[in-house]
Amino acid sequence: MIRTYANQSGRFVLAGADLAALDSAVWIDLMRPTKDEETAVERAFGIDVPTREETSEIELSSRLYAEDGAHFMTAMMLSHTDGDNVLLSPATFVLAGDRLVTVRYEEPRAIDTFVARSQKAGPMTAEALCAGLLEALIERSGDVLERTGHELDTVSREIFSIEPPVPKATGAAALLLPKPKPKPRDFQSVLEQIGRKGDLLSKVYESLISVQRLLIYATAAAQARKADKEASSRFKSLARDVQSLVDHAAFLTQKINFLLDATLGMINIQQTGIIKIFSVAAVVFLPPTLIASIYGMNFKVLPEIGWPYGYPFALALMVLSAIVPYQFFKWRGWL
């Protein structure tokens, strides 16, 4: 699909959604372009439109380069940013003469927002369009980071949740009120949330790094094209904004690692508590089992066999042997 935008009557407007308006367009937006659309743009402006495979390469020489007087700049852009299943796809910005050509394969909401806002403004230059698009995409990345930070705060409260204090009752009311039970925490769900946030942050970080490199090249390209100083200063300002977002993304990544370690520690504490219960139960029931085994031996001569109180004596001895280690554990503070 192709959309063209032009400066008409002192305004920036949509010129058309076909190839007929290429000559008057200042911005040509190629969305999942067909072979015919690529060929038409190449013939009209004398450039070689890169394919998706070429823009997806990680080498800087494949993403940022100049060819036949045109400057090609590719960055990884975020789309579907309303949830955690964010998509990362390449978007190429081509400054060819006084025109901007964009090649993309997803539809970030930030671009539609920029188009709606720009149509209310005056004429736009190619550099201003490029800077405006990048600014909209950077703002969207910042919104994603802000939302992720709030969600990580929620996860943190869930991990380190503290039950609110319950007022102590006195007298008969103390016997009637049930003892508060700690709310069980689903650490499996917490781990899944942390994993999703970590994957999201890695995509945002990758996008910001690619945009940061693009802005450095765009600043040099604007100077080489002898664009107005406002364009160069705007690219530099955006580069500073991206650097602050990169630092914030790194901070959130460290927070995710901390929450992951904390969650695994809480799981270990839970598992240790369960093993502790089984260990105490085994020690408590070991002496009664030993006594029952002694009196269960098949010998003809056992002193207590003919004793009328032998059976209750054995039961009392087993109960006592269970109570003594239990009280000892409580006295030592192991329970």
Q: pLDDT for 176-197, tens place per residue?
A: 555 555 566 778 888 999 999 9
Looking at residue 81, its pLDDT comes to: 84
Burial class (CB in 10 A: 0-12, 13-18, 19+), 158: middle
Looking at residue 50, its pLDDT comes to: 85
122 CB-near residues (< 8 Å, 6+ apart): 10, 11, 12
Spatial separation of the C-alpha atoms in residues 322 and 335, rounded to whole Å: 15
pTM score of the predicted model: 0.77
How many CB atoms lie under 10 A from the CB of residue 47? 19
What CATH number labels 271-332?
1.20.58.340
How many CB atoms lie under 10 A from the CB of residue 241? 19
Looking at residue 179, its pLDDT comes to: 55
Looking at residue 216, its pLDDT comes to: 92
Looking at residue 16, its pLDDT comes to: 77
CATH of 2-149+191-267, one of 3.30.460.20, 1.10.340.30, 2.30.110.10, 3.30.110.30: 3.30.460.20
Looking at residue 225, its pLDDT comes to: 81
CATH 3.30.460.20 segments of the chain = 2-149+191-267
CATH 1.20.58.340 segments of the chain = 271-332
Low-confidence ranges of the chain (pLDDT < 50): none
End-to-end CA distance of the chain: 70
Q: How far is CA 183 from the centre of its chain?
A: 27
8 CB-near residues (< 8 Å, 6+ apart): 15, 24
Looking at residue 98, its pLDDT comes to: 87
